[in-house]
Amino acid sequence: MKDFLRRLKYYGLGFIIGTIMVVFMFDNKGCSWFPSNRVKDNLFNRMIVINPDNLHFIKDQGFSESAFLKTIQDGDVDFGKSKKQGLDKVYRIDYQTPSGIKQHCFMTMGDESFITEVIFSKQNALKVTPSKSDIRDGKILFFPKNQFLFYMDSSQVFQKEMKEAGVSNDKQLNLLIRKFGEFSFNYAQLNTHPKPIHGIRFQTKKGAKESLCVQCIWFKDKIKVYSLKREAKDF
């Protein structure tokens, strides 16, 4: 019995030391065991957009866009100052600038929405949700790695419309959206349930005389594009 208790004590001590080492070694480094990392994994499985008028916050803090994304991905989620309940969640991310100054931003996350919006103003973060924004078109900072993230609905009528607009297949669709795409809050209906309707605006070439506005939904980790509207550009 004494041998069993001694072994149990050693096992418990080893387990505690191992747990502490795991926490220090893997916290904020991709370990999905921790709530903060689970939230960030969910955020970075979505398209990340920002109001173009707020891009100066990133530059003023000393970041390039890619460095900013890497920094917030390694940042800490402040659950106490986040909106964690309901369909429309908003999380506060704490991070440090290259000069060592502590900063934070807010990121929206809807349960069935494939976008998250980066917000720097606490006042705006309290009123902006995944289904409501004060901007018309959002700059896309980040796309998930899936090469064929977008795909066209199989309807022959829709595919014919896309071909007439200059988009022949899914590969071309993905290339054009990644190169020219903006998220269109004006064309989206993000408060629709159970599947919010998203809007993407893009061109088929630089300097094109029209924009293509497509509506789409998130379906099985991909984005199904099913509706097209062509808009003449204002010059």
Does residue 129 share a domain with residue 42? yes
94: three-class secondary structure by DSSP: strand
In this predicted model, which residue has the larger pLDDT, 85 or 16? Answer: 85
For 209, the domain range is: 150-232
pLDDT band at 72; cut points 50, 70, 90: very high
Residues 138 and 40 in one domain: yes
Per-residue model confidence as pLDDT tens digits over 77-115 = 999 999 988 888 999 999 999 999 999 999 999 888 999
Total H helices, total E strands in the chain: 7, 11
One domain, residues 100 and 132: yes
What's residue 235's pLDDT?
Answer: 52
- The whole-number average pLDDT for the span 139-167 is 95
Q: What gap in Å lies between CA 21 and CA 137, rounded to an integer?
A: 45
Could you report the per-residue pLDDT of 22-33, keeping only the tens digit for each?
444 444 444 556
- The answer to whether residue 85 is domain-embedded is yes
Distance CA 40, CA 74 (A): 9
Query: How is residue 123 written in tokens?
Result: 């006042």
Cβ atoms 2, 11 nearer than 8 A: no
Higher-pLDDT residue of 22, 148: 148
Where does a domain end: 142, 168, 192?
Answer: 142
Residues 6 or more apart from 9 whose CB is under 8 A from it? none
20 compared with 3, residue with greater pLDDT = 3
Task: Encode pLDDT of 189-232 as tens digits.
Answer: 988 888 999 999 999 999 899 999 999 999 888 999 999 999 98
The tally of domains found in the chain comes to 2
Residue 194, preceding bond cis, omega within 30 degrees?
Answer: yes
Confidence at residue 18, expressed as pLDDT on a 0 to 100 scale: 47
- The reported pLDDT for the residue numbered 17 is 59
- Number of neighbours of residue 101 by Cβ within 10 angstroms: 10
Q: Which pLDDT does position 122 carry in this prediction?
A: 75
Query: What letter would DSSP give residue 53?
Result: G
DSSP 197: B
Burial (0-12, 13-18, 19+ Cβ within 10 Å), 194? exposed
- Give residue 25's pLDDT: 46
